[in-house]
Amino acid sequence: MSRQRNAWALPITLLIALLLGLVSLPGPLQALRPYWLGLVLAYWLLETPEQVGLGVAFGLGLLADLVFGTLLGEQALRLVVLAFILDRFRARLRFFPVSQQALTIGVLLLNDRVISAALRLISGAPPLPPLAWLAPLLGLLLWPPLHLLLDTLRLRRKG
């Protein structure tokens, strides 16, 4: 049996990640929302760097800024930083076991929170709620099942 790539998986999963960012959650849970767009983009950056790079991260970030109503360029900056770091260390990260990848993704999501907090401080927006600092931990825990799901969608068996 050979495997064939699903061309539709990339845009559909990024669209779903964008929509998951819009799902309304109760007050306290809002701060715990994982950064779905960052998680899904991280997967595609690791697995298909020839299709997804800094330009896609920037464009997707601008689209997310428009959809989420955030400061124009905030999501773009956060996703480009994430993409740059992943691109720089892709050769090593790709061959880590998924558990070690999850730790790395958790650190990258924590870095994303630091960037978000700094942008809020600079722009005069209210600071992140304390519970928001636990969201990277949730992203770390979601990485293994998300990786498995996206692998299944990306590769299908033929024959």
Q: How far is CA 83 from CA 25, 65, 76, 79, in A?
A: 27, 17, 10, 6
pLDDT score of 6: 78
- Phi first, then psi: give them for residue 5, nearest 5 degrees: -80, 140
Q: What is the mean pLDDT of residues 111-124?
A: 96
Give per-residue pLDDT as tens, 13-41: 999 999 999 998 898 889 999 999 999 99
Can you read off the two tokens belonging to residue 124? 């005069």
pLDDT score of 100: 95
In this model, does residue 159 exceed pLDDT 90?
no
Q: What is the mean pLDDT of residues 127-151?
A: 95
CB-based contacts of 71: which residues, under 8 Å, 6+ apart? Answer: 65, 119, 123, 125
Answer for the pair 79, 57: CB distance below 8 angstroms, yes or no. Answer: yes
pLDDT score of 36: 97
Q: What is the mean pLDDT of residues 110-127?
A: 95
- Residue whose tokens read 């992203």: 139
pLDDT score of 1: 44
In this model, does residue 157 exceed pLDDT 60?
no
Give per-residue pLDDT as tens, 58-100: 999 999 999 999 899 999 999 999 999 999 999 999 889 999 9
In this model, does residue 3 exceed pLDDT 60?
no
pLDDT score of 156: 75
d(CA 128, CA 15): 25
- Phi first, then psi: give them for residue 157, nearest 5 degrees: -80, 145
d(CA 36, CA 39): 5
d(CA 132, CA 6): 34
In this model, does residue 2 exceed pLDDT 60?
no
d(CA 109, CA 136): 5
d(CA 26, CA 24): 7
Q: What is the mean pLDDT of residues 90-119?
A: 95
Q: What is the percent of the chain where pLDDT is above 70?
A: 95
